[in-house]
Amino acid sequence: MKAGVDVGPTNTDAALLGHADAILSTVKVASVPGDPVASVTAALGRLGAPPLAQVAVGLRGAASAVDDRRGLYKVAVLRIGGHEAQAVRPLFGWPEDLLRAVCAGTAIVDGGGGLDREDWTPLDTVAVARFAAGVAGRAQAVAITGLFSPLDAEQELEAADIVRAELGELPVALSADLGSLGLIERENATVLDAALSGFATDVAARLAAALSPVTAVHVTRGDGTLMSLEHLARHPGLSLGSGPASMLRGAGVLTGLEDAVVADVGARRVRVGALAGGFPEEAPGGARIGGVPVGLRIPELIRVPRPFEPAELAEAVDRMQPGADRLPLVVVGGGERAVPGGLHPAHGTAAGAIGAATSPVGGQYERVVRLPDRSDLPAALEAVIEEARASAVRAGADPRHVRILEAADTPLAYLPGPFVRLRARAAGPPAQL
Domain 2-67+204-357 sits in CATH at 3.30.420.40
Q: What CA–CA distance (Å, rounded) separates 261 from 257?
A: 10
Q: What CA–CA distance (Å, rounded) separates 423 from 368?
A: 9
Q: Hey, is 234 helix, strand or coil?
A: helix
Say yes or no to pLDDT of 432 above 90.
no
One-letter amino acid for residue 199 of the chain: F
Bridge partners, 302 (sequence order): 272
Q: What CA–CA distance (Å, rounded) separates 373 from 289?
A: 40
Say yes or no to pLDDT of 199 above 70.
yes
Tell me the pLDDT band of 325, cut-offs 50, 70 and 90.
Answer: confident
Tell me the pLDDT band of 14, cut-offs 50, 70 and 90.
Answer: very high
Comparing CA positions, the residue from 422, 335, 316, 337 lying closest to residue 378 is 422
CB 220, CB 58: distance < 8 Å? yes
Biggest CA-to-CA distance, the chain: 64
Comparing CA positions, the residue from 334, 297, 280, 342 lying closest to residue 180 is 297
One-letter amino acid for residue 287 of the chain: A
Residue ranges per domain, the chain? 2-67+204-357, 73-195, 360-428
More confident position, 156 or 61: 156
Domain 73-195 sits in CATH at 3.40.50
b/e per residue 269-281 (b: at least 16 CB within 10 A): ebbbbbbeebbbb
**What is the overall mean pLDDT for the chain?**
93
Whether the ω angle into residue 307 lies within 30 degrees of 0, i.e. cis, is: yes
The pLDDT score that the predictor gives to residue 281 is: 94
The pLDDT score that the predictor gives to residue 303 is: 94
Q: What CA–CA distance (Å, rounded) separates 185 from 316?
A: 26
Say yes or no to pLDDT of 269 above 90.
yes
Q: What CA–CA distance (Å, rounded) separates 61 from 67?
A: 10
Bridge partners, 249 (sequence order): none
The 10s digit of each residue's pLDDT in 113-127 is: 666 667 778 999 999
Q: What percent of the chain shows pLDDT beyond 70?
A: 98
CB 6, CB 352: distance < 8 Å? yes
Mean pLDDT computed over 151-163? 94
Domains 2-67+204-357 and 73-195 share a fold: no
Please tell me the pTM assigned to this model. Answer: 0.93
Say yes or no to pLDDT of 46 above 80.
yes
Mean pLDDT computed over 174-189? 89
The 10s digit of each residue's pLDDT in 372-431 is: 888 899 999 999 999 999 999 999 999 999 999 999 999 988 777 788 999 999 999 999
